Amino acid sequence: MADMMWAGRFSKKIDDTVNAFNSSIAFDGRMYRHDIQGSIAHATMLGDCGIITKEDSLQIIDGLKGILSDIDSGKLELDPSAEDIHMFIEAELTKRLGDVGKRLHTSRSRNDQVAVDIRLYLRDEIQEIHDLVKKLAVTLVNMAEQHTETIMPGYTHLQRAQPVTFAHHLMAYVFMFLRDLERLQDVSKRMNYCPLGSGALAGTTYCTNRKQTAELLGFTAPMANSLDGVSDRDFCVELNCALSLIMTHLSRFSEEIIMWCSWEFKFVELDDAFATGSSIMPQKKNPDITELIRGKTGRVNGDLITLLSMLKGLPLAYNKDMQEDKEAIFDAVDNVKLCVKTFIPMISTMKVLKENMRNAAARGFINATDCADYLVKKGMPFRDAYKITGTLVAQCIEKGLTLETLPLDDYKAMTELFDNDVYQAINLETCVRERKSEGGPSPEAVKVQIEIAKKSLDI
């Protein structure tokens, strides 16, 4: 095992078990690009400010670029016994450049280094997740356009309630995902301040230029306080919150798809490439993807609790507890990407069984509100109309009829306000078409929603 960089203070080598326990390279190794990017900015600034010579700065930058391309190409493998990615790259630089490499860490600590690395890393990840969620929203908008006339039952308490359309239902999710996109942008904006130059915790005695490193790395500005610079992990929590909400939306949608795939509903059928079979029951076609998404939501929420619990009660400034941030937030990021990536082709290849949706909408008296509204429009107070309709529904249940098949005489027995036109008023197509209030399910109202979403998605 290589000597530790901090070996000077110690008279013994670190115990192997402790080194394995302490080491984070197994999970922070994935930040090697961002670590090098941060170091290049730091070395540039050190050279420009005359803290190290220009020649040394250029040599260091060159050396770092060499390490980057060697790791990228697989020529250089990460050493699993290294303490972390920061130490590994610095040690490799010194191996390549000798004394010059040892100058890189002037006026810097791993505490501001790791804080900058995670921000750079997550900034890229947020962009990727943003693109994926956007793609999902676009997919759903495209599907919605095909289904503005596809009538299905809308539910409350999982009881058939009032008629909606499949497009209306899909658009509800689109608006959730649009808010998720905004939340990601918001986190990204607040996170985009540069901790580099905070040093270990108390800044530095060198005459550094923090604005320059912040600019080189694409940050809005340097973080204003060095203690905060090395201690802040709010952005990990905020991002995990945003990710938990994406998963919550995906999970609710997944639960519906699971129900819709059942024989009890049969509203949709998954493409064979996006479903799985059973090892014993030959007839089975299982919606595993959606169940896994529902399950992984718990895991992403767990990551959020890990972060909050890790930070709670931590004194300023850096504490090693904070090394635990990475596995949690990386796990959340990885799983959200995986879920969205799998969900998109699954939903876009899913067969929508319109007839079954329509048949389900025809049962369960989901036009009862419309029947009451018919009487209200003829002058009856709503509460009275509600009561009469309730009685009619009870009669239908007793006689095994629907409101559509109940004879006019039975209607008229309740009130003379009923006439033949009641059948037109409670017809499902009419019920949907007339629900044209802003945000409602009528094809006309849903088309407005589609336009709003398209504008926001820039499509």
Number of chain positions touching ligand ARG (CB under 6 A): 10
Which listed range, 215-223, 314-322, 340-348, 375-383, lies at the site for ligand ARG (CB under 6 A)? 314-322
**In angstroms, rounded to a whole number, what is the distance separating the alpha carbons of residues 76 and 67?**
7
Q: Does 110 bind ligand ARG (CB under 6 A)?
A: yes
Residue ranges in 72-91 that form contacts with ligand ARG under rule CB under 6 A: 84
Helix, strand, coil percentages in the chain from 3-state DSSP, rounded to 5: 65, 5, 30
Q: Residue 74 CB, nearest distance to ligand ARG (Å)?
A: 24
Which listed range, 50-58, 212-220, 279-287, 317-325, lies at the site for ligand ARG (CB under 6 A)? 317-325
Long-range contacts formed by 201-207: CB under 8 A, 24+ apart: 201/109, 201/111, 201/226, 201/227, 201/230, 201/231, 201/316, 201/317, 201/318, 202/226, 202/227, 204/107, 206/49, 206/51, 206/106, 206/107, 207/49, 207/51
Q: Does 257 bind ligand ARG (CB under 6 A)?
A: no
Q: Does 323 bind ligand ARG (CB under 6 A)?
A: yes
Q: Is 278 a catalytic residue?
A: yes
Q: Is 157 a catalytic residue?
A: yes
Choice from 59, 94, 107, 111 touching ligand ARG (CB under 6 A):
111
Q: Which is nearer to ligand ARG, 20 or 459 (CB)?
A: 20
Please pick, among 69, 81, 262, 278, the residue that the annotation labels catalytic. 278
Collapse the DSSP code of 417 into the 3-class scheme (helix H, G, I; strand E, B; otherwise coil) and give the result: coil
- For 58, the token pair is 């250029």
Q: Does 235 bind ligand ARG (CB under 6 A)?
A: no
Q: Does 24 bind ligand ARG (CB under 6 A)?
A: yes
Residue 317, preceding peptide bond in cis (omega within 30° of 0): yes
Which listed range, 245-253, 308-316, 318-326, 441-449, lies at the site for ligand ARG (CB under 6 A)? 318-326
Q: Residue 87 CB, nearest distance to ligand ARG (Å)?
A: 8
Of 302, 323, 301, the closest CA to residue 311 belongs to 323
Largest CA distance in the chain: 101
The string over 312-323, giving b where at least 16 C-beta atoms fall within 10 Å of a residue's C-beta and e elsewhere, is eeeeebbeeebb
Q: Residue 351 CB, nearest distance to ligand ARG (Å)?
A: 47
Residues serving a catalytic function are 157, 278
Binding site for ligand ARG (CB under 6 A): 24, 28, 84, 110-111, 114, 318, 320, 322-323
